[in-house]
Amino acid sequence: MSAGAYGFSMSSNYNSRPRAVEVLVENNSFKTIRKRESYKDLIKLEEKRLV
């Protein structure tokens, strides 16, 4: 019932890779609890630094 070391807590944006969606699964249902990052999400902090 766990992803172990490959869970979201170990994810990063190394090499400009967006992090995956995080999904909670319980019995026969699932719910997205963190959306997949887009490229725009990755660069928004950099854009603020340039201003």
Predicted local distance difference test score (pLDDT) of residue 39: 87
Predicted local distance difference test score (pLDDT) of residue 50: 66
Report residue 51's pLDDT band, with 50, 70 and 90 as the boundaries.
Answer: low
How far lies 41's CA from each of 17, 19, 29, 32, 35, in Å? 11, 10, 28, 17, 11
Predicted local distance difference test score (pLDDT) of residue 9: 72
Neighbouring residues of 16: CB distance < 8 A, sequence distance ≥ 6: 39, 42
What are the φ and ψ backbone dihedral angles of 25, each rounded to 5 degrees?
-115, 130
Give me the residue spans of the domains in the chain. Answer: 4-50
pLDDT tens-digit profile of 3-49? Answer: 655 667 777 777 778 888 888 889 999 999 989 888 888 888 777 66
Residue 42 near residue 13, CB atoms below 8 Å: yes
